[in-house]
Structure 1
Amino acid sequence: MDDLTGFQRDLLFVVAGQSEPAGVAIKDEIEEYYRKEIHYGRLYPNLDTLIDKGLLEKGKKDGRTNSYLVTNRGRRELQARLDWERQYNA
C-alpha cells in the first residue's frame, strides 16, 4: 500500500465501503469527500492501477457498466493501513 497515492488509497477505501459499486457510484462518493469534481480521466486510470496491483477486481453489472470489488489482498492491505494509523491515533 505504500506505493499508492493518497487518491488511490481513498478509492480503495470507497470501494471497500460499498457493495460492488459502479464507477459512477465511486465517483460520486469520492467527489463528496474531496468536495470537488473528479474527472473520469483521473478516476478510471487510478482504478485500473488498483486492478493491476491486484487490489481490485473489475466485473460487469450489465453490458455497459463495470463493477468493482476489493480483492482479499486489497482487504489485507486496508487492514494493515488501519492498524498502522491506529498506532498514531491512540
Structure 2
Amino acid sequence: MHDLTGFQRDILYTIAGQHEPHGTAVKEELENYYEGDIHHGRLYPNIDTLVKKGLVEKGQHDQRTNCYTLTRRGRREIDARRDWETQYTD
C-alpha cells in the first residue's frame, strides 16, 4: 500500500466499506468525503490501477455496470496499514 496515492487508498477504503459497489457508488462516497466533484477521468484510471495491482477485483452487475470488491491482498493491505497507523496514533 506504500506505493498508492492518498486518493487510491481512499478508493480502496470506500470499496471495502460497501458490498460490491459500482463506480457511481464509489464516486458518490468520495464526493461526500472530499466535498466536491470527482471526475470520471480521475476515478476510473485510479480504480484500474488498483485492479492491476491486485488489490481490487472488477466484476459486472450487468452488461453496462461494473462492480468492485477487495481481493484478499487488498484486505491484507488495509489491515497492515491500520496496524501501522495504530502504532503512531494510540
C-alpha displacement of 1:63: 1.0
Q: What are the Cα deviations for residues 29-54 of structure 1, in whole angstroms up to 9, with x where unaligned?
A: 00100111000000000000000000
Q: What are the Cα deviations for residues 4-44 of structure 1, in whole angstroms up to 9, with x where unaligned?
A: 00000000000000000000000000010011100000000
Partner of 1:53: 53
* Secondary structure of 1:38 counterpart: coil
Q: State percent identity of aligned pairs.
A: 63
Partner of 1:13: 13
Q: Which amino acid aligns with 2:57?
A: E
The number of residue pairs the alignment matches comes to 90
Partner of 1:89: 89
Q: Which runs of 5+ in 1 are unaligned?
A: none
- C-alpha separation in 2, matches of 1:57 and 1:7: 18
- C-alpha separation in 1, matches of 2:8 and 2:88: 21
* Secondary structure of 2:37 counterpart: coil
* Secondary structure of 1:69 counterpart: strand
Q: Which amino acid aligns with 2:85?
A: E
Matches within 5 A, 1:5-84: 5-84=5-84
Q: Which runs of 5+ in 2 are unaligned?
A: none
- C-alpha separation in 2, matches of 1:85 and 1:31: 24
Q: Which amino acid aligns with 1:66?
A: N
* Secondary structure of 2:88 counterpart: coil
